[in-house]
């Protein structure tokens, strides 16, 4: 059984079935605009062998965002958006060894079809800029060996009235703790800051173009992150366009 599977799956199926289509449509996936795959590019300030020029800092991330990374965090997913209004981004996974950050993996990815915002609102088609914890995961597919609590549920599936290219968007998802309750399935619709602030912001499977607000990655990237992210290492995501992150 997946960690937390029985209770969490029951909650997802019983309480969320009738709400899931609306929740997902307002945040992730769906026909949200054209976009071509970008190649994962090297973050600014990174030296040889994936070690930062200043190894005590995450490359390309300014003081303000560095300070928001919890002191006990040893796993950081950084989403480097190509530009404020771009749907293309590069995701880099860093691990901390001693006092030094090391790049473990990187992938081309996509974010909101209209880019990024520091004031995200429902249906603005932009991904929120910020530093957020990663606490819960789930999807349509069986647990691949996730370190985070994993909730499998058919209710999380993309609607079949979406274009076929989007049907597998939610095979695997990792909830980004933006306007949500930690310790609940990713598709729990509770939004502590209110519905206008948006929600259901996830890392999920990529369909080759921008999302409604989520960050999408290749399947192999999602499988890697699911198997690697460890609650005991306090993983977080740092996300935004490069200019905002560096400021």
pLDDT at 123: 95
Q: What is the pLDDT of residues 74-88, one digit of tens each?
A: 999 999 999 999 999
Mean pLDDT, all residues of the chain: 86
Q: When comparing pLDDT for 5 and 163, which is higher?
A: 163
In this predicted structure, the answer to whether residue 191 has a pLDDT above a threshold of 80 is: yes
Under 8 Å between Cβ of 229 and 174: yes
Q: What percent of the chain shows pLDDT beyond 70? A: 79
Compute the average pLDDT of residues 2-9.
42
Global pTM value: 0.84
Max Cα-Cα span within the chain: 50
In this predicted structure, the answer to whether residue 38 has a pLDDT above a threshold of 50 is: no
pLDDT at 31: 53
| pLDDT tier for residue 37 given thresholds of 50, 70 and 90 | very low
Q: How many other C-beta atoms are found inside a 10 Å radius of the C-beta of residue 119?
A: 9
| C-alpha atoms less than 13 angstroms from C-alpha of 156 in its C-beta half-sphere | 31
In this predicted structure, the answer to whether residue 142 has a pLDDT above a threshold of 60 is: yes
In this predicted structure, the answer to whether residue 5 has a pLDDT above a threshold of 90 is: no
Encode 92-118: b = buried (16+ Cβ within 10 Å), e = exposed. Answer: bbbbbeeeebebebbbbbbbbbbbbbe
Distance CA 26, CA 70 (A): 29
pLDDT at 53: 78
């Amino acid at each position: 059984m997946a960690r937390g599977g029985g209770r969490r799956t029951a909650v997802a199926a019983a309480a969320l079935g009738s709400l899931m289509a609306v929740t997902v449509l307002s945040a992730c996936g769906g026909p949200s605009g054209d976009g071509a795959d970008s190649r994962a590019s090297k973050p600014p300030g990174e030296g040889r062998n994936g070690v930062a020029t200043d190894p005590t800092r995450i490359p390309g991330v300014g003081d303000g965002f560095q300070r928001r990374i919890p002191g006990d965090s040893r796993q950081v997913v950084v989403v480097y958006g190509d530009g404020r209004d771009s749907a293309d981004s590069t995701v880099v996974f860093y691990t901390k060894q001693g006092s030094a950050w090391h790049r473990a993996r990187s992938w081309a990815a996509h974010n909101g079809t209209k880019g990024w915002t520091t004031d995200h609102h429902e249906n603005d088609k932009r991904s929120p800029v910020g530093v957020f914890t990663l606490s819960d995961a789930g999807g349509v597919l069986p647990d691949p060996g996730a370190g985070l609590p994993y909730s499998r549920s058919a209710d999380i599936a993309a609607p079949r009235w979406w274009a076929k290219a989007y049907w597998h968007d939610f095979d695997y998802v990792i909830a980004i703790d933006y306007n949500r309750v930690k310790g609940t399935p990713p598709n729990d619709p509770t939004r502590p800051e209110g519905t206008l602030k948006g929600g259901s912001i996830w890392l999920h499977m990529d369909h080759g173009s921008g999302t409604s607000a989520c960050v999408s990655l290749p399947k192999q990237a999602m499988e890697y992150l699911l198997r690697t992210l460890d609650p005991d290492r306090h993983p977080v995501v740092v996300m935004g366009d490069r200019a905002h992150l560096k400021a």
